[in-house]
Structure 1
Amino acid sequence: MNFERTVKMRIEFKKVTEKNIEDILKLKVKDNQKTFIESVPECLKEAAEKSCWRPVGIYDEDILIGFAMYCFWKEDQHVWMDRFLIASEFQGKGYGSAVFPQLLKKIESEYQCSEIYLSVFKDNTAAINLYEKNGFRFNGEKDIKGEDVMVLNLRRSVVL
């Protein structure tokens, strides 16, 4: 029999600072995922150019396992969860499924928003599955880079 050990994750999101930037810059996805997401250095360059971006390291206790970046985009008045990656060596361990809902709660709390937007390439099926499991749906739009837009409606409807 194959028994898997249950691991308790203690996920924390930390701002990118001088203290952790070197480690964050080393984060990489698997080779077959490189066309789906910008590299961390590209993300941080973009964040330096546009102050609305909030880049964060994703930690399990004190171990850096991933990266995310999100913002309120004034041009379209939407909150965007723009980048989300689990480093290649931590993929397949349940981190994506555990971290993503926590990231969404963090974003909702920070912005008090009713919707969160993201964009994805149609052939990134693993990401689409994760997003759909967390309530995102395609809205028929494309972003400025030609990716398909998905939206999560956070409004809670009451059924009587």
Structure 2
Amino acid sequence: MFTEIRDITALNKEEVLALHIADNQQDFIESTQQCLDEAKDDRRFIPVGLYKEDIPVGFAMYGVFPHEDDTQRVWLDRYLIDERYQHKGLGKYFLQQLISFLQTKYNCQKIFLSVYDNNKVAIQLYKKFGFAFNGELDEKGEKVMVREVVAHDDN
């Protein structure tokens, strides 16, 4: 299976904007348009398309942000698989790819994300990949999860 994490450019922006989640997931994550608008306003956000065999199947946004303890935190800020491609193992597959990508790109010890506590499917997925709640809430009231990055992780 040929897969790729691609930057969003003028060439693929429209196909990324066509990605949609299921109706029952709408309250859990912003639309790709909202994400791209946010990334345009705040250059710390880096949006990417997730591709399988040259077809856009998902979207993610990441970045490095300062924390109140004067450290820098690597965030996997948004993550979705289009509803047409859910339940095919791509959520697990691309989460592992993104973890490896962020670890390599930033040589980080921890990766952070946030999730609404009623998003049970996402929480279950993140826990399978070693994310755990750290007791913090983000500015939107989402619970923060963190994954300690270890060398040679086979998760």
* Residue aligned with 1:110, SS: helix
1:48 and 1:153 map into 2 onto residues whose CA distance is: 29
Q: 5 Å matches for 1:141-160?
A: 141-156=136-151
Measured on the aligned residues, the alpha-carbon RMSD in Å equals: 1.3
Q: In 2, Cα distance between the equivalents of 1:72 and 1:61? A: 29
Q: 2:14 and 2:23 mapped to 1: Cα distance? A: 21
Say whether 1:33 aligns with 2:28: no
Query: Is the contact made by 2:50 and 2:60 (CA closer than 8 Å) also made in structure 1?
Result: yes
In percent, how many aligned pairs have the same letter?
46
Q: TM-score, normalised by structure 2?
A: 0.93
- Structure 2: runs of 5 or more not aligned: none
1:48 maps to which residue?
A: 40
Q: After superposition, where does 1:82-101 map in structure 2 within 5 Å?
A: 82-101=77-96
- The residue number in structure 2 matching 1:21 is 13
Q: What is the match of residue 66 of structure 2?
A: 74
The number of aligned residues is: 149
Q: Which has the larger radius of gyration?
A: 1
Please give the alpha-carbon distance, in whole angstroms, between the structure 2 residues aligned to 1:61 and 1:52: 29
Question: Structure 1: any 5+ residue segments left out of the alignment?
Answer: 1-8
Distance 1:31 1:143 in 2: 24
After superposition, the C-alpha distances for 1:27-68 in whole angstroms (9 at most, x for unaligned) are: 110000000001000000000011111100000020110000
Query: Structure 1 runs of 4+ off > 4 angstroms?
Result: none
CA distance in 2, matches of 1:128, 1:102: 18
SS in 1 for 2:28: coil
TM-score, normalised to structure 1, is 0.90
Q: After superposition, what is the alpha-carbon deviation per residue over 1:88-121, rounded to whole angstroms, capped at 9, x for unaligned?
A: 0000111101111111100111111000000000
Deviation at 1:75, TM superposition (A): 4.4
**Structure 1 residue 11 displacement after superposition:** 1.7
